[in-house]
């Protein structure tokens, strides 16, 4: 049974190319290289954000080297769409995971009404500060760093 490489993600294609016995399966190796080159060639942009679920999607960790990137770090707080890891210098993108946001929304609202507002009220502070705290926490836990392929990266050349 021949594998259908058109259904593979870029990371799966790269992993298959590393794992395949290139001498024993030269035709499959050529198919892998061809499919990978077709995916990486895109004349409109120099970067490609992988679609769908990425196994390396991280919570404030570089999706390439898996080193922590601080929330208030210069790399994470830049305004550019594509950012660079301070450790490995490879590109990544910051995304917002809407599923995590909505899963955490109800528990955070309940936590706000039963824990944060009473504490803020007893301290003599405005209870509406709790809404800001809840929104900030939701944004922080919904933010994900995803891998971005740099077209100029020599490690992908096949």
pLDDT digits (tens, 9 = 90+) for 47-92: 444 444 444 455 678 887 778 888 778 877 877 778 888 888 888 8
- Cα–Cα distances (Å) from 126 to 111, 117, 129, in that order, read 16, 8, 6
Q: Which of 41, 11, 45 is nearest to 147 (CA)?
A: 11
Rounded Cα gap, residues 76 and 94, in angstroms: 8
Instruction: Supply 153's token pair.
Output: 């990266």
Rounded Cα gap, residues 51 and 37, in angstroms: 17
pLDDT digits (tens, 9 = 90+) for 13-27: 888 888 888 888 888
- Cα–Cα distances (Å) from 15 to 9, 70, 78, 138, 139, in that order, read 10, 29, 31, 34, 33
* Strand duo 47-49 + 82-84: pairing: unpaired
Question: What is residue 73's predicted lDDT score, i.e. its pLDDT?
Answer: 80
Rounded Cα gap, residues 66 and 17, in angstroms: 22
pTM of the model: 0.53
Question: What is residue 146's predicted lDDT score, i.e. its pLDDT?
Answer: 84
Rounded Cα gap, residues 12 and 56, in angstroms: 12
């Amino acid at each position: 049974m021949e594998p259908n490489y058109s259904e593979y993600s870029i990371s799966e294609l790269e992993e298959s190319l590393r794992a395949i016995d290139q001498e024993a399966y030269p035709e499959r190796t050529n198919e892998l290289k061809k499919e990978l080159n077709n995916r990486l060639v895109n004349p409109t942009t120099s970067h490609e954000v992988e679609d769908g679920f990425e196994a390396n999607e991280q919570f404030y960790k570089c999706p390439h080297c898996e080193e922590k990137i601080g929330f208030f770090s210069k790399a994470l707080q830049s305004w550019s769409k594509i950012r660079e890891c301070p450790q490995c210098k490879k590109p990544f993108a910051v995304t917002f995971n809407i599923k995590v946001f909505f899963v955490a929304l109800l528990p955070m609202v309940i936590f706000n009404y039963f824990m944060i507002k009473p504490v803020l009220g007893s301290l003599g502070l405005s209870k509406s500060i709790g809404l800001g705290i809840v929104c900030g926490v939701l944004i922080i836990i919904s933010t994900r760093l995803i891998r971005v392929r740099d077209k100029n990266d020599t490690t992908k050349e096949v």
